Structure 1
Amino acid sequence: MVGTAHRSTGVEGVEGGVGLTALLVAAARAIETHRHDTLAQDVYAEHFVLAAPACAGWPVRMHQVPDGDANPLWGRFARYFGLRTRVLDDFLLRSAHSGARQVVLLGAGLDTRAFRLDWPPGCTVFEVDREGVLAFKHGVLGGLSASPKAARVPVVADLCADWAAALAEAGFDAAVPSVWLAEGLLFYLPSGVEARLVDTVGRLSAGGSAMAYEVKLEKSLLEYRESPLYTSTKHQIGIDLLDLFDAEPRPDSAGALAGKGWITSVHTPFDFTHQHGRGPLPEPNDALEGNRWVFAHKPRV
């Protein structure tokens, strides 16, 4: 049962920079959880927001947003994160039920899928992130007496360094089919780091493995600097996403996986808006225009 967490110590991992975006997504998931037409449920999300001084005053319910869904940040952008959560939840569970018993969350942030999804027996969820982020999450969830629904293994690692060694030391078995997730991660990483990360996933994946991740395809992110999503995020909560995104040309990670024999598919978020009947639709000067959700499967031998 979920109780009330006290304000947590050890919040430095989420108090600024990219770490703060994890709290943005948590607030969006909290709002999504309490919508009448919710796409995804995360009863833990609001507790992260309430525990971090950096987001004091942020909404966790739509009725706390004066202009409601008309608000670009807490309306449209938050709904985007809710849709993304649902689509990736479904992908992970399908993969697990198809035989991938290891789940690796790269840049796990404040992801609570180990606690809120109904995993099949024998699943292990590896959460890879920096120590400060994992410590903050551990403190909040511990205060709620939350119990994971699968074996949960936090892995402290820098994704710009040799995270594969830390994952192996934590018990990951490269001979076993796995499902990998890089949600809201790759566009913060230098191009070369993304390429190495995808190559490492390919190397560590047995046949029957799968991967999902998000990329941005714009030629220049600055073309969207005046997009309502970016300006409202900066002005309302002080997060300048364009300063956090890596500006280098992005690698063709889907093509790299396909070249290694993976079967890939690339979708716009709007594809899933139509599928689910709710979510963001295209609009002028749209910061979501270049977003793509990539799904990949490595065939069994």
Structure 2
Amino acid sequence: MDGGVGLTALLVAAARAIETHRHDSLARDVHAEHFVRAAPASADWPVRIGQVPEGDANPLWGRFARYFGLRTRVLDDFVLGSVHDGARQVVLLGAGLDTRAFRLDLPSDCVVFEIDRAGVLAFKQQVLTDLSAAPRAKRVPVPVDLRADWVTALTSAGFDPAAPSVWLAEGLLFYLPGPAETYLIDTVDRLTTGGSALAFEAKLEKDLLAYRDSAIYTATREQIGIDLLDLFDLGPRPDSAGHLRAKGWSTSMHTPFDFTRRHGRGPLPEPNDALEGNRWVFAHKPGP
């Protein structure tokens, strides 16, 4: 957890903790601050906006954390809507420190599959065990690297391709080379039946390095030592939304700012904005 992409999972957990304690919170995660405190790399990070001297004026713990809080809420709503429409399998690709199995009001017959590296899932389990946390639905950790044969691991864990499912790739795809993203999208299509859904985050910029000096990336580097642009894959990105449409899925694409306006809080556009090219894609596979 103390290096590379593992650190970004702690960053998002800290953002969820800050969001949880806001008076106008969009999403609540009472477990998030415990992940932050349990990892040496993040033990002294803020978990409440009151612990940040500049408060919301801080680009990292103000604007960027609010972005992650908004993303959490939007994807929570997507999962709950898909479950309402009949999905009983939730698959979290690169689950990180996701706690939706514990937070969301899911039916008891719903199964949440969490795919991530064994070390990440072990760290998460230790913290949850120490908290005596109990999931609201059946939770199935699937310890496998997404660069390995995660399909066999997922189906061996009980995933049923013949039953509708909802999938999240939250903050994942821009760490993958373009061909790996296409393979993942093709695999989700192959593993899903009609009535299934997928949400993922994409970045549209042709040159991510153009935003290297943006307030968000600069603050993240300087305040917690995470250089996101060193972690992102800088190669050409595929058109995964168009790829899904060609396979018969319906898709919609939104900016985060669309949901800021809908919910009345969250980031709005600013000059030299590292969030400018971020898109949230929601895809549905038609039923029979």
Work out whether 1:187 is the aligned partner of 2:138. Answer: no
CA deviation vs aligned residue, 1:85-122 (integer Å, no higher than 9, x gap): 00000000000111010000000000000001000231
Partner of 1:22: 9
Q: Which stretches in structure 2 are left out of the alignment for 5+ residues?
A: none
Partner of 2:96: 109
TM-score by length of 1: 0.95
User: 8 Å contact 2:37–2:43 — kept in the other structure?
Assistant: yes
Within the candidate set 106, 113, 123, 1:119 is matched to 106
Take 2:9 and 2:133, find their aligned partners in 1: how far apart are those partners? Answer: 19
Partner of 2:214: 227
Paired amino acid for 2:13:
A
CA deviation vs aligned residue, 1:110-145 (integer Å, no higher than 9, x gap): 000000100023100000000000000000000000
Partner of 2:35: 48
Work out whether 1:66 is the aligned partner of 2:42. Answer: no
> After the TM superposition, which residues 104-183 of structure 1 pair with which residues of structure 2 at under 5 Å, given as runs?
104-183=91-170
Q: Which stretches in structure 1 are left out of the alignment for 5+ residues?
A: 1-13
Take 1:59 and 1:46, find their aligned partners in 2: how far apart are those partners? Answer: 9
1:157 is displaced (CA, Å) by: 1.2
User: 8 Å contact 1:97–1:120 — kept in the other structure?
Assistant: no
> After the TM superposition, which residues 189-268 of structure 1 pair with which residues of structure 2 at under 5 Å, given as runs?
189-268=176-255
Paired amino acid for 2:52:
V
Runs (4+) off by over 4 Å: none
User: 8 Å contact 1:29–1:42 — kept in the other structure?
Assistant: yes
User: 8 Å contact 2:108–2:136 — kept in the other structure?
Assistant: no
1:230 is displaced (CA, Å) by: 0.1
Paired amino acid for 1:258:
R
Take 1:158 and 1:259, find their aligned partners in 2: how far apart are those partners? Answer: 28
1:28 is displaced (CA, Å) by: 0.2
CA deviation vs aligned residue, 1:254-293 (integer Å, no higher than 9, x gap): 0111111000000000000000000000000000000000
Work out whether 1:279 is the aligned partner of 2:266. Answer: yes
Paired amino acid for 1:101:
R
Take 2:146 and 2:238, find their aligned partners in 1: how far apart are those partners? Answer: 17
Work out whether 1:97 is the aligned partner of 2:67. Answer: no
Number of aligned residue pairs:
288
CA deviation vs aligned residue, 1:188-247 (integer Å, no higher than 9, x gap): 011111000000000000100000000100000000000000000000000000000000
User: 8 Å contact 1:234–1:240 — kept in the other structure?
Assistant: yes
- Cα RMSD over matched residues? 0.5
1:182 is displaced (CA, Å) by: 0.3
TM-score by length of 2: 0.99
